[in-house]
Structure 1
């Protein structure tokens, strides 16, 4: 983040808080920006910095005038179109950027040789990328949410055999009562077999998805 961005950060955050003051507004804005609600709440709470790119995205998505976020505002200053956009969760544009600020790289000059002596050999320092650790922590949080959803699907699929057995009994009752011809009878039973076959296939895919998610973002 450049110096101007750092100086505007408190103003940006205050305006974000203003825009999301209504109950549920933070959740709606997060979805409009295609961000997780938890990440946006960390930004609002001052626990995460964010970039000028993100701020311009908020203006575009909510229909705010360009540069609106750069000056302090009160509730009455929020345009009606922006209120309606957030209240009804109707974005004016699609945001495809990132919220993470781009840190300015420090520029250091190598020491000058003393009394004609050769300059010391530059020693490589191990990288200490704090932002990388933050991104990894954010990744792990959203990954855990995805894993929970996958587990929920897996539980539903494992319960299916019980419901499938009850459905087979019902269809047997229909066959006994209607006594359909052999073609219809075979079609009914074939559909049941296909349901069970695809359930097993889906369950294998879910288990594989779970295993892949657990490794996403982790170093080998």
Structure 2
């Protein structure tokens, strides 16, 4: 796995340095591994990466125990047979593997992208569901307060249609007063007649305003749903 490779790489490199501490050991090991001394020097300096296949090849070619390279070692822990093989440039086997690592970063990155997109899609879906729930809550609250307002408008509308005193009766009573007055100032008579007329006029106007208010409140439900909202 990629994480395992990244964790083992510094350990392998450190052990390669230990194996090549002796003068000329790096050049001899390079020839034993069938690669250039300059490439091995770059590997030892940390300027080139290398494959696990190369590490296993070093173990096989120098006679090291299997997976010896996976644990950090000191120079005195190098087996005598391995030290002798490097000193005399006598390989135990021939390395035919690949030095350069084959790392499928693009594939892993693509997988990460897929996971990232899936997570983003999930979050987007959750956000959309949350927004829809909030919109439904707001619409329900709107309808509730709208219906309460309509109830009050209807109550006012009913009272306007059923006043405690009929305007026609009120007019007749005022006219009786005017007729019964023996010496009524003409200005007062005109004022009384004008007041009755204004009351009747504004009563009718008020009723029309209340009716329009009722109709407007009823239409607000469709406006709140917007152009895409369907009928309930």
TM value normalised by structure 2: 0.47
Larger radius of gyration: 2
- Structure with greater proportional helix content: 2
TM value normalised by structure 1: 0.49
Higher relative contact order (CA 8 A, sep 6+): 1
